[in-house]
Amino acid sequence: MSASRNINDQVTSLLREASPKGTGAATPDFDILEMPLEGVAAYWLSVKKTLDSKKNATTFLPEEAQHTREPFIKFLLELTASSFPADRCERLATIRKLNVINELQRKYVLMAIGLLGIVSNENPQKVMIRFLSKFHIAPIFEKQVFEVAQMMIKNIDNTELNKAKFLNIDHKQTTEALIINLVFYCMLARRNGPQSLLEYQTFISSQYFKDGLVLICDGFDYDFVKFRLNLVKKEILADTDMKMDLSINMMHAIKSGVPFHDVYLVARTYLP
């Protein structure tokens, strides 16, 4: 067994042990946060156009859902293909939307806590307590979190370590994996200073986290960084909420069997 296999397997094993549920990361090809509003509208219009043009439209929606990796859109496609009436589909989709938004908000809050811990040079153990305060039941074991983070720091200069996997910060990660990686960055910043983290930006998917890190390294103080993080978080969530509402309303129109032009009117309601 190679040295790289040893290192990466050890970290993966610790990640599993760190959580009662295990850990992993969803990796869809795209997600609704990154899609522009116009792109979301265009997608649902293409679904309607395809349905209208196909002789056997009943097979299209299940096939489209099967090949769509964006979780929320996939769920809406499954609802559209279901036997539920349009109003029931809309209610179920709204419940799903609220769950997704709440989970996203908590992940962005965790990122903000991590960044604020870095800018204030706070003890990572205190940062960990702040993480866990956002849950009524701890989603991960504190002891194992620090074991994983310490192993990652120990092997940070080892070229065999899968940095793309273990140094990432992304809202698509599970909460458990996100907490572990945030603690790692807090520990590394406390040891080597925030500037040292810029070296690992290429492994970080979240623009929110990268922008916050740049603010810290540019010398902005705690209050400004906190203000900026809160503002951007609100904008991201509001934008995502609108795209989800657009998707729900267009799904409802398609499910109701209205003409293409009426589905287009729904899209125009949300477009500038």
Q: Encode pLDDT of 20-36 as tens digits.
A: 444 333 333 568 998 99
- Give the Cα separation of 39 and 43 in Å (integer): 6
pLDDT at 16: 55
**CA-CA-CA-CA torsion sign (172, 71, 96, 52):** positive
- In sequence order, the β-bridge partners of residue 25 are 173
Q: Tell me the average pLDDT across 234-248.
A: 97
pLDDT of 175 higher than 90: yes
> Count of CB atoms within 10 A of residue 210's CB?
17
Q: Are 89 and 79 in contact (CB under 8 A)?
A: yes
Query: Phi and psi for 173 in degrees, rounded to 5?
Result: -70, 160
CA 125 to chain CA centroid, nearest Å: 24
**Would you state the pLDDT for residue 2?**
53
Higher pLDDT among residues 9 and 36, named by residue: 36
Pinpoint the alpha helices (H) of the chain: 3-17, 37-53, 60-67, 71-81, 86-119, 124-132, 142-154, 163-166, 175-192, 207-217, 222-256, 260-270
The H-assigned helical ranges of 120-217 are: 124-132, 142-154, 163-166, 175-192, 207-217
Chain mean pLDDT for the chain: 89
Q: How confident is the model at residue 234 (pLDDT cuts 50, 70, 90)?
A: very high
Q: What is the percent of the chain where pLDDT is above 70? A: 88
Query: Counting Cβ atoms within 10 Å, is residue 180 exposed (0-12), middle (13-18) or buried (19+)?
Result: buried
Contacts of 146 by beta carbon, 8 Å cutoff, 6+ apart: 124, 125, 128, 183, 187
Confidence at 6, pLDDT banded by 50, 70, 90: low
**Cα distance between residue 154 and residue 187, in whole Å:** 11
